[in-house]
Each structure stands twice: as structure tokens, then as C-alpha cells.
Amino acid sequence: MVQRGIRNPKPRPRFIEPMECRRVTSLPEGDDWLYEIKQDGYRAIALIDGSTAILYSMSGQDYSAQFRPITFALNNLKRGNLILDGEIVALDDQGRASFQELQNRRTSKQPVMFYAFDLLHHNGRDTMDLPLSERKQMLEQVAAHFSDPLRLNPVFRTALPPLIEQVKSLGLEGIVAKRANSVYVPGRVSDAWQKHRFNREGEFLIGGYVASGANFSSIVVGEYRGKDLYYVKRVAAGFTPYLRQQVFKEVKPLVTSKCPFVNLPEPNVSGHGLTAEKMKDCVWLKPERRCELEFVERTNSGRLRHAVFRRLIS
């Protein structure tokens, strides 16, 4: 049975539910804060107990068999009993974290790494009650013996504005700010850890919506590539009740019987596609209204990830 955050006089390595960051619109500044690159992957807890190494997901699922090279590297680290908090990340051709490559890891040839950013247990002692700055020092000593696919997530003790500019110029996802004296609180969202994504923006055409009662649950958006309109995302996030009603009022006169997208329906591969069955719930629109979306990145096929509606374009 997975144990969550249990302490005893001589604790052993075990699954500890990860401490989580609070999402913020602007990051804190000052000497009290440390900064890290926000990796775009799977959060994971890695433990080494004697000759056993296990990778756990945030919910306590055993990841070990899915990421055998990382588990093998942990097992051969030979630095005693440890619990590491980190992120499983696939790298693209430019060495940046790519969530799509991670999802396609069974067919992709891109490297998959484990970036460690915290140390929760070290040789019989839980370290969660120590300040983050001390845990970082201990982790750096352990990480001096890392080799791929184990890596240390870098820490930046610097002014925030130039770091933001550099992170944006490199096309990285975002920054995490952590208070240097913060303790580790398992399973909790804390103001001591704050994250901010640098999302992309773009204008897209609304070609339909998924009906829900007297309104819609999501809009179906796309973009022209040449003369053809390609579907790129169903967007449900970003709508307040008032905004949803205003958008519905604007697009309702554009209802048409024909699907305007050339790449629908999708095959039912991932379970999340807009298949022929799911298209039965769609109401199609003449693609005459544009909207502005915020999103994290595009997949190789041009789809949007984590898209949020911002506004209609006049």
C-alpha cells in the first residue's frame, strides 16, 4: 500500500504526495525567492530504498515500468536511500521540454529525462522540515553524481525581469518561484511556490460549437491553410457566464448545416478527438467570426494545447 507523508523516528523512503505550486499572473521578486524553469512533463516522485528504485506519479501510480531507463539510473545512483521530487521530461531537437514528445515516447526517438528539483529524504532522515535552500544544497551534492537520464533542474538566484526575457526568448514554458526558507508541505498548494506560464496568443475562426442546454459547452475553432479551414481545438476554458452568453448571441445567426472543417471527423485514437460520433453534438457555423485565444504550444500537427478563450475579434 502506498503511504502518504507518514513520519516515524527512522523513516524509510516511500511515496510522498507532491507539494504543488499556486498559479499566478505575475511572479514575486526579491532576495527571498529562488527561480526555476517550469518543465513541461509528468510530475514524479522518485525513491531509492536499498536495491529498489520506484517512480511514482502525482497520484501514487507506479511509473517505473513506463520509464525503465530512469528507474535503472536511479537504481544505479548508489548515493544511499533517497526521495526525489522532479519532472519526467521529453526533449525536442532544441533541448526544450516537449509534452507532445513525452506523450509519443513509444514512437519518438527523443530523449526522456528526470529533472530533480527537491530532496525529501536522505539516508534515514526526512528533510521536508528543512528550508528549501538547505534541501537544494543537499540535492546538489547528490546530483553531482547524476548522469543522463538524471538531471538537476537549475536554480537561478537573480533579478527576475532579465530571467523572464531570457526564458521567453528561448521559447520555454514558464518560471517557478519558490521561497528560499519554505518547508515542504505534502499534497498542498502553497503560496511559497508560485508558477507562471508564458503562453502564446493567436486569432482563430469559430466554425462551430458543442451545444449544451440553451447555450454551448465549448467552441470549435480553426484556421485557414490555403483555401481550406483546418480544425485546431475545442475550447471550453476562459468563459464567464456573461461572456458565454455574449459569444452565443454573436455566433447564433451563423448556424449552417455543413461542417466547415476539412480535417473532421478525427479517428478515435486518443479518446479525445472530435470523432464522427462526437460531431453529432456539434452545431456548425459559417466561419465568419474570429476570436483571440491564449495557448501553451502547438503540436506537430498544428493543434493547440491548453487553449483559453480571451475575446471575440470585431
Question: Cα Rg for the chain, rounded, in angstroms?
Answer: 23
pLDDT at 138: 98
pLDDT at 271: 57
CATH number of 200-313: 2.40.50.140
pLDDT at 272: 65
CATH number of 20-197: 3.30.470.30
Report whether 120 contacts 126 (CB < 8 A): yes
Percent with pLDDT over 90 in the chain: 75
Q: Give the Cα separation of 33 and 290 in Å (integer).
A: 41
pLDDT at 165: 94
| Per-residue cell: 29 | 521578486
Residue range 280-308, pLDDT digits in tens: 999 999 999 999 998 888 888 889 988 98
Query: CA torsion sign, 115 to 120 to 122 to 123?
Result: negative
pLDDT at 1: 46
| Per-residue cell: 246 | 455574449
Report whether 307 contacts 235 (CB < 8 A): yes
Q: Give the Cα separation of 275 and 266 in Å (integer).
A: 5
Report whether 18 contacts 85 (CB < 8 A): yes
Reduced to 3 states (helix: H, G, I; strand: E, B; else coil), residue 206 is: strand
Provide the pLDDT confidence category of residue 269 given band limits of 50, 70 and 90: low
Residue range 63-94, pLDDT digits in tens: 999 999 999 999 999 999 999 999 999 998 88
DSSP H/E element including 56: strand 52-56
- What are the structural domain ranges in the chain? 20-197, 200-313
Residue range 248-263, pLDDT digits in tens: 999 999 999 999 999 9
Residue range 28-66, pLDDT digits in tens: 999 999 999 999 899 999 999 999 999 999 999 999 999
